Amino acid sequence: MKKLFVILLALPLLFASTSFAAPKKISVTPLKLIADAGTSIDFAGLVLSQNNIVIFGSSSQQSGSTAFARAIDRAGNEQWKISLDAGAEEIATAATTDVSGNIWIAGSFSPTMPQVVESATATPVLNPDEVINESVQVIREDMDSVGVWKVSPQGEVLSSFNMKMDYPVLITSIAADKSGLSLVGLTNVGKGSVGILLNCSIAGVCTPPIFIGTKDTTLDAVIRTIDGGQVIIGSSSEPILDKKLQGLRDGIIVSAAKTGKISKVIRSSATKASRNWSSATSTFFFGGEVITGKKIESAVTKFSNTFAPTWTYRFTSTGPVFNAVGPSKSHYSFFASTSAITNILGWNPKRASGLVIAFDSKGALMGAYSASALTQPRAAAYSKDLGLVVAGTSGETVSIFHLNSR
């Protein structure tokens, strides 16, 4: 009996010594405004190249649209600006950088000027909370050529090439390494929205396109793997390979070999919900949205190399999320938060407000940074030279903010 009594006394001490400490409470640190970057219509995204923030997009003109890229420094001073000419009209819609700091920009263009068709002006729908519904990406019928430009860190166009298609294409993502380029996007070939994968050499020699889906599939980001293959993310409401629809719409992760042949498909679903994956990093940190009825959440998940989830979070938001890789295997997620978040002190926005959350290598929250003037995130990137840089809109203006965490 005495021995049993001693054991019972020791049990609370045993459990106390092996329990986990409560998560640390985090205060929100303001992000610093660098500069306004033009209108929401013109802005497509940004990448970081050496000491410059490179903004790319398409400027609207009376005669059509012209693709452009321009660089600003950490103080917001413009360093260079170039036009990216390819045809009668161009749009730049995706970009990445290589290990040398060169900027690879991809988009679509029309070889001939489209005819102008007058139409009635639509009355805008009131949306005081600026809630972002599932995006519908319009593919212009005349944009049936794909263009790729290689730009030096100093703003010089080093090379360019294009591919004439038999159908319109909207490029959504490009990835580059020393072995070549991978581009993904959308086309309306077939019965509806179809995903497209293009693989090209650095010199611009491209293999025939690979189509993913037949009527309702979107591809939003691509990663090149060390074996020359690709990992592609997006969404679909139709069977892909042998994987059938599980929710209203599923997020998809597609693994493709160097040849472009699809070897594996993973579907991310939720009951009676629409899901997608739209933001990816080379470390397999994916972000997307989950829409269940009127509830909208930003979902972020760190996957292993075998696509097993290692940690995940969901945050009530307006949906879109942009991810970036930080220092020491940390990660950032930028989204428009719409409610309080556990362990973030004093955060309880009354309307959609831009919020960056930093996660350590194990997925624990380690920082929170606000650009509360922003209601729609548009881009996020990190580099050793510039730290964390995010861009978003408030109204019709795109603004760029900065957190130097070197």
Q: What would the pLDDT profile of 290-330 be if each residue is shown by its tens digit?
A: 999 999 999 999 999 999 999 999 999 998 999 999 999 99
Question: Pairing between strand 331-337 and 353-359?
Answer: antiparallel
Question: Pairing between strand 28-30 and 365-371?
Answer: parallel
Residue 90 lies in a domain: yes
Instruction: Please enumerate in sequence order all residues whose Cβ is within 8 A of that of 78, keeping only pairs 6 or more positions apart, or say none.
Output: 70, 71, 72
How far apart CA 231 and CA 214 sit, in angstroms, is 19
- Cα first-last separation, the chain: 61
Q: What is the CATH number of the domain that holds 269?
A: 2.130.10.10
Residue 72 lies in a domain: yes
Residue 155 CA to its chain's centroid (Å): 24
Question: Pairing between strand 309-325 and 295-303?
Answer: antiparallel
Residue 299 lies in a domain: yes
Residue 13 lies in a domain: no
Residue 118 lies in a domain: no
Residue range 17-39: mean pLDDT, rounded: 78
Residue 268 lies in a domain: yes
pLDDT in tens, 293-303: 999 999 999 99
Residue range 118-139: mean pLDDT, rounded: 38
How far apart CA 7 and CA 1 sit, in angstroms, is 10
pLDDT value at residue 234: 98
Quick one: tokens of 64?
């059509």
pLDDT value at residue 404: 65
pTM: 0.87
Quick one: tokens of 336?
């428009």
- Domain of 53? 23-112+130-403
**Backbone phi, psi, residue 328, to 5°:** 55, 45
Residue 263 lies in a domain: yes
Whose tokens are 């940390």? That residue is 330
pLDDT in tens, 258-269: 888 899 999 999
How far apart CA 394 and CA 373 sit, in angstroms, is 7
Residue 128, pLDDT > 80, answer no
pLDDT value at residue 3: 41
**Number of structural domains found in the chain:** 1
Torsion angle, alpha carbons of 341, 345, 349, 350, to 10: 110
* 8 Å CB contact between 110 and 143: yes
Whose tokens are 């730290």? That residue is 387
How far apart CA 381 and CA 365 sit, in angstroms, is 18
Residue 203 lies in a domain: yes
Return mean pLDDT, the chain.
87
